[in-house]
Structure 1
């Protein structure tokens, strides 16, 4: 399996003389497209009602659960990144930590899959889910992930979105109260600074 993982990586990793346009596009998808998630969550929270905000909190919880699972896996099993093995080429700097699974894609897909469960957010959930495809390609192309890191991310995202959905009754009432209190405090402080 590891040989297949490495062969797929070498097939998708950039060539010796990559086009600068392709490299810039890959850098955008690999490093910056993830910021669409917090932008969406914050703007939708600010415009949303209580039910919308609770759905957003569920999506955030899915992301946090996914990242926690990733940290546990990384602590138990260190899988080197391609550049740590001298494999392929790397175009962006990255800390030399465990590659499996991809945190970027885990977070993106956890939030996406959580949003897909609910009618008002199915379209944006689908868009974010599909955004994972160029992000996955870019992170491999730029030399910081293996293809199996991506497969691991999607599996963890499925589990995390499901867990956050089935256990929402345990955490959602409490976390909503905390989040809405923080929201009110920030609004109050914001209105005082405007005076």
Structure 2
């Protein structure tokens, strides 16, 4: 399996002298697109209905659970990144921590899959899930992940989305009440002006 992982990585990894436009696009997908997740959750919370706000809380829980699972996997099994074993070309800096699964893609897909499973934001979730594919490619192309890291991320994200939605009855209402109190305290003036929801 490891030889397949390495072979697929070398096939997808950037050449020694990559095309500048492809490199720019890959860097955008690999490093900058992730900011869509907190932005989307923030807008959904500030401007959406109660149902949408609760959907954002569930998707946030999914993302956090996914990252927690990844930390446990990384502590139990340190799988080196390609540059740690001098394989391929690495075009962006990254800390030398465990490669499997990809935290970056786990967070993205855990949120996307969670939204996809919920009635209101399903289309947004499906769009985000599709955007995860070029993110996965970019992380491999730039040399910081193996292809199997992305399969691991998809597995963890799927489990996280399923579990946090299934068990939402245990945490959703209290976390919604707490988040609403914080929301009113932070955005009281903007609520009065009608710029954000009450």
State the distance in 2 between where 1:104 and 1:21 align.
22
Q: Which residue does the alignment assign to 2:117?
A: 117
Give the SS at the match of 1:148.
helix
- 1:190 Cα offset (Å): 6.6
Which 5+ residue runs of structure 1 have no aligned equivalent?
A: none
| Residue 181 of structure 1 pairs with residue 186 of structure 2 | no
Q: How does 1:5-84 map to 2 (within 5 A)?
A: 5-84=5-84
State the distance in 2 between where 1:120 and 1:187 align.
25
Q: How many residues align?
A: 192
Q: Which residue does the alignment assign to 1:108?
A: 108
State the distance in 1 between where 2:64 and 2:23 align.
30
| Residue 127 of structure 1 pairs with residue 112 of structure 2 | no
State the distance in 2 between where 1:127 and 1:55 align.
16
- 1:126 Cα offset (Å): 1.0
Q: Contact conserved, 2:67 with 2:106, CA < 8 A, in 1? A: yes
Q: TM-score, normalised by structure 2?
A: 0.94
Q: Contact conserved, 2:52 with 2:121, CA < 8 A, in 1? A: no
Q: TM-score, normalised by structure 1?
A: 0.95
- 1:173 Cα offset (Å): 1.1
State the distance in 1 between where 2:120 and 2:50 align.
14
- 1:44 Cα offset (Å): 1.2
Which 5+ residue runs of structure 2 have no aligned equivalent?
A: 192-198
Aligned-residue CA RMSD in angstroms? Answer: 1.3
